[in-house]
Amino acid sequence: MKNLKSKFITVFAIFCFTGFTAHAADEFYGAEPAPLPKPIEIPIPVVPTIPIPVIPGVSLLKDTYFTIKPDLRRCISPICGGWFVSAVNRRIFMCPDGTVKQECYIAEEKINIPGLSDIQVAELRQAMSESKVLIQGRLSNAVAYGLLEINNAWLSASSQSPKGIFVTVTDNGIRCVAAPCPSYDGQILNRYFSKSLASYDLSMVEASDEQLVLAQEAVNSENGLPMAGKFVEVAGPAGSAQGIAASQFYLKVESTKPKMCFPTGCSGQICSDTDVITTCEWRPEYACYRNASCSAQSNGDCGWVMDDELRRCLANSALFPLLQPDATK
């Protein structure tokens, strides 16, 4: 057995040495050496990059809450001069061009809030230019460099910069014997969850008494009060719970209720939504208002619709005293 094993080792050694010396001899005499075996190549699978489809004229997000600031760069429009928007409570989101960023440039905005007067629209645009507004809307690539469709808006109570998490606080009707009591729901904006809150504190916001009253009414309403702030611990006889200390809160921009306007006064010369008592002298221009339209104007107040017929009648009535014969002659 030992002899067989030793013979096998000897043959194996001779075989290996012979192959080595043959390869070395080839190199020595300038002959082409025998090719060495190629390494085995293992293919690495490549994961294809799937681009995000961008369909022209289609909103890329559902209704989202945004903060906004004007673009003050100096270059040709619409590349510059629009708005920068950021989705609250989100680090990144999708822009109209399909990219994902912390903030997006938007060339145009469209206000879709029904029933706003011209004054309210002007106030909203002014608040946007001062970054004092919270917007709920959608981004669209319907126009070059993006479009912001504004479906709801809330004006900030002060010029303070919002800090913390954005939450809508609503009274849920829960009442307890001892505090703290989870009487409020805090809906985290742009998220799909809410928190139970025992209190909300608006004392750090530089708001007027009227704004604080409107804020309380908003909390008690179905839509709630949006605010930015940080969660704090509140304690009481029943233990501890979470509340929120606001750095800013927002009041909703809503259409004013249209006034029911009608002609009033002794001669029907006044257009108002309340009865007005006047003296009963007669003037020629009063006859012009008999066929005129009395309705709410663009600023929300009642007034006569100054169409061409009313303007012509008033102009003629102003000349009426000059055409009458002088009774003193």
* Pairwise CA distance, residues 221 & 316, whole Å: 53
Length of the chain: 329
DSSP sequence for 213-267: HHHHHHHHSSS-EEEEEEEEEEEETTEEEEEEEEEEEEEE--PPPPP--EEESTT
Among candidates 61, 89, 228, 71, which has minimal Cα distance to 149?
Answer: 61
Q: What local confidence, expressed as pLDDT, does residue 52 receive?
A: 43
CB atoms within 10 A of CB 180: 20
Q: What is the pLDDT along the chain (329 residues), one digit of tens a residue?
A: 555 555 555 545 444 444 444 444 444 444 455 555 565 655 545 444 334 444 444 444 578 999 999 999 988 989 999 999 999 999 999 999 999 999 999 999 999 998 888 889 999 999 999 999 999 999 999 999 999 999 999 999 999 999 999 999 999 999 999 999 999 999 999 998 999 999 999 999 999 999 999 999 999 999 999 999 999 999 999 999 999 999 999 999 998 767 789 999 998 999 998 899 988 988 888 999 988 999 887 667 889 998 999 988 988 887 555 444 444 44
Report which secondary-structure segment, H or E, holds 151.
Answer: strand 147-156
* Pairwise CA distance, residues 23 & 35, whole Å: 10
Q: What local confidence, expressed as pLDDT, does residue 25 receive?
A: 44
Query: In angstroms, how far is CA 322 from the centroid of its own chain?
Result: 60
